[in-house]
Amino acid sequence: MINYKEEIATKIAKVTNLNKQELEQYIEVPPNSDLGDYAFPCFKLAKDLRKAPPIIANEIKENIEIDNNIIERIDVVGGYLNIFINKKELAKTVLEEISKQKEKYGSSNIGEGKTAVIEYSSPNIAKPFHIGHLRTTVIGGALYKIYNFLGYNTIGLNYLGDWGLQFGKVIAGISLWKNEYDFENDEMGSILKTYIRFNQEEKEKPELTEMARDSFKKLEKGEPEIVKQWEHIRKISIENYSRTYKLLNSKFDSYDGEAYYNDKMTPIIEELKAKGLLKESQGAQVVDLEEYDMPPCIVVTSAGTTIYATRDLAALKDRINRYNFDKLIYVAGSEQQLHFKQVFKVMELMGYGDYVAKCTHVPFGLIVDKDGEKIGSRKGNSVFLEDILNESIDKVKDIIKEKNPDFEDRDEIARKVGVGAIIFNDLSNSRIKDEIFDWDMLLNFQGETGPYIQYIYVRTRSLLNKAGYIPQIQEIDYSKLQEKEAINILKLIYTFNEVLQNAADKNEPSILARYLIDLSQSFSTFYNEHKIITEDKFVQGARLYLSYAVGIILKTGAELLGMEMPERM
């Protein structure tokens, strides 16, 4: 496929004798297509060429080699070269590439030979999957799929919160109240009720806290019965999460949680001591980070126990040894920014700076309702993600029933649309912003939503079904795709790989989500302005193939976000 920026940069380099790669970085896409398909700001060359930008622009225009298959014309406006490409050749290069690559269009080998490790989701076991873990799960899941699509060896880590005093509380609570809850029929719910009750009652009964500590000490020491009980709780929790992960199309390559690093924390503490980094502070062992404008990183508490930071240090050291990664991405809430800064700085001080440079914390905002209030409880109860997903599915079923009572495959379509709406609502805006959770907005089939993208995809499929065929690429007359609306679509399809690389570079799935909205809206405009099923078979063939291409990109892009596309709605 033609790389237009590279071709333009090569031609400008021949005239100016400047570095082609540097020139390529300067090339822009104008906000208005009337100003050209690409623009080159000659202001960037004024210092090197010691001339005014308009003079440079005119000299380049007069001397540049014009290849009519690539460039139709060049206009000079002030200090800019406005470059218009050959639209017929654009249609040819894009659609022929679609014909060859199909659902792999936009993929690349840019990550070949590189390993990207992504830690995401990471709920605390012994509790049902709370809605607060939705964002890390879908953001991390989208990054996992995007990196994989770009050729990286991608490894998804679900760093479970499966250790700590909370398990002492659950184990002690079960020993006290096992007969009061229905563990046989609702084990996960009963575990949660036990945990909540324990936390409430220990406020008035300090002896319960001692029981919890004693149970956790037995777990740490490896007492067989306690370990067996903990393993069962962990197993039940993962089985519970798996239902939600299946709905969200989330995949993990490892479920190694905090417990996995129990025997790896002593070595990291000893290494910190050997390197002279540990200091005593109020009975605790800390790494002093005052020089770096951070509070001390506590490694061992005054009670002699390790904490989350200790386990993260041990985990990072283990991942260096195990994966030798090129990227290590932590998808975790904005409130953990200081924690990761401390962990990364401590590892750097330990001599692992080369690997720390490859580590990135990908933060995100909260989930809030339309009034801006954090969604954390409803009528005093936790909001569980599986309940939200099922509620979304049920709402879509109601919409289908109202509009088309005889619709077949209602359950399957409702699942894809309902879950897709939740995923897209999370990913459609910059991750650092709070996500607004509003049923009326996220289930809107006309707004900038997941259902809208699915609806446009279904429209492309119905056009092909109505025509009864997908045209052969060798039969396409590219001169029949010269309308402004068709060109806008072709330009968007052309940039698909660039969009994916940008999303990966910034660890920002919303870049892909917004692109899918733009493509959907562009196709909707094209559909409304031009008949696709028409008497002119050459026009119909070209427009049908463009519709087919749009469908491929919408489906590929949506699946990279974790959505599934229905074939009809």
Catalytic residues: 127, 130, 133
Q: H helices within 223-352, ranges in order? A: 224-248, 265-274, 308-323, 337-347
**156, 254 Cβ separation under 8 angstroms:** yes
Helix axes 134-149, 496-505, angle to 10 degrees: 130
Residue in 343, 344, 342 with CA at minimum distance from that of residue 358? 344
Q: Give the integer Cα–Cα distance in Å for 383 and 394.
A: 17
Instruction: Look up residue 34 and give its DSSP letter.
Output: G
Answer left, alpha or beta for residue 249, where phi above 0 means left and psi between -120 and 50 means alpha: left
Tell how strand 278-281 and strand 367-369 pair up. unpaired
Query: 413 by DSSP, 3-state: which?
Result: helix
**E-strand spans in 370-475?**
377-378, 381-382, 435-437
> Is residue 58 packed enough to be buried (19+ CB in 10 Å), middle (13-18) or exposed (0-12)?
middle
**What is the separation, in whole angstroms, between the first and last Cα of the chain?**
34
Pairing of the two strands 115-119 and 153-157: parallel
Question: How many Å apart are CA 119 and CA 258, to the nearest integer?
Answer: 13
What is the phi-psi region of residue 148: left when phi exceeds 0, alpha when psi lies from -120 to 50, beta otherwise?
Answer: alpha
Per the DSSP assignment, residues forming a β-bridge with 119 are: 157, 330
User: How far is residue 202 CA from its own chain's centroid?
Assistant: 40
329 conformational bin, left if phi > 0, alpha if psi -120 to 50, beta if neither: beta
What is d(CA 541, CA 543) in angstroms, rounded to the nearest whole number? 6
Please give the Cα distance from 412 to 387 (Å, whole number).
17
- Among the listed residues 392, 414, 412, the one whose alpha carbon sits nearest the alpha carbon of residue 403: 414
Phi, psi at 151, each rounded to 5°: 95, 0
φ, ψ dihedrals at 353, nearest 5°: -60, -35
Let me know the angle formed at the C-alpha of 130 by 188 and 232, rounded to the nearest 5 degrees.
30
DSSP H helix total and E strand total for the chain: 22, 14
Spell out a b/e string for 325-359, using b for 16 or more CB atoms within 10 Å of the CB, else e.
bebbbbbbeeeeeebbbbbbbbbbbbebeebbeeb
What does each C-alpha distance from 235 to 125, 241, 245 come to in angstroms? 9, 10, 15
Give how far Cα 115 sits from Cα of 107, 111, 260, 321, Å.
16, 8, 22, 13
